[in-house]
Amino acid sequence: MRVTIAIDDETAFRITKAAEGEGLTKEEWMIAACTKALDAGENTPAKIPEDYNKLHSSIKEKDNEILSLRKEINHQIELKETYSRFLEEKVQRIDDLKEEIARIESMSMTMTDQILLDRDERIKDLNKMIEHLQAQAAAHSVALQSAIKPALEGKVRKDDMEEIRETEDGNKPKRMRWFFRK
């Protein structure tokens, strides 16, 4: 049979000194003391030592302490698990945000390329339109010049003829002839 007991420091010191005095180990001395006490007290009722109540209350306090420490340990384990879950969620969110940022950057680059391509196409279209309008303007200019040139030449000759007539007539001064012409 195996027996485990808790004793105070003073009693343990006394047991150690008594065991050394008789040349025994503490365990051997305890067995011998228990045997002697049992042999001597076979006819007498067992007497509870005075320190028993003190030791018993000390053991109860230690048990209560152990229980509260176990509760605290369980609480700490729960906190650790919760904290670990939060860290995992945080890492997952960071990974999700990284993926979202990469997707947005990709879309941004695609949109920028598309905008630049559209801009280049618009510039080409506008350049073609400008060239077309310049060609039309040049064609209209040539057409107008060819249409106006004979009329201008005819009018210049008519004006020259009138001027000559007026100077021959002498009726109207040169500066006044512009007022009467219409």
- Average pLDDT over the chain reads 81
Q: Is the pLDDT of residue 182 over 50?
A: no
Domain ranges of the chain: 9-42+68-148
Sign of the four-CA dihedral 102, 104, 107, 113: negative
> What pLDDT digit, counting tens, does each position of 1-13 carry?
777 788 888 888 8
> What pLDDT digit, counting tens, does each position of 89-133 carry?
999 999 999 999 999 999 999 998 888 888 899 999 999 999 999
Task: Please state the rounded mean pLDDT for residues 39-54.
Answer: 62
Task: Please state the rounded mean pLDDT for residues 61-77.
Answer: 95
At 47 the pLDDT is 54
Is this structure's pTM higher than 0.75?
no
At 98 the pLDDT is 94
Tokens of residue 125, six digits: 């279209």
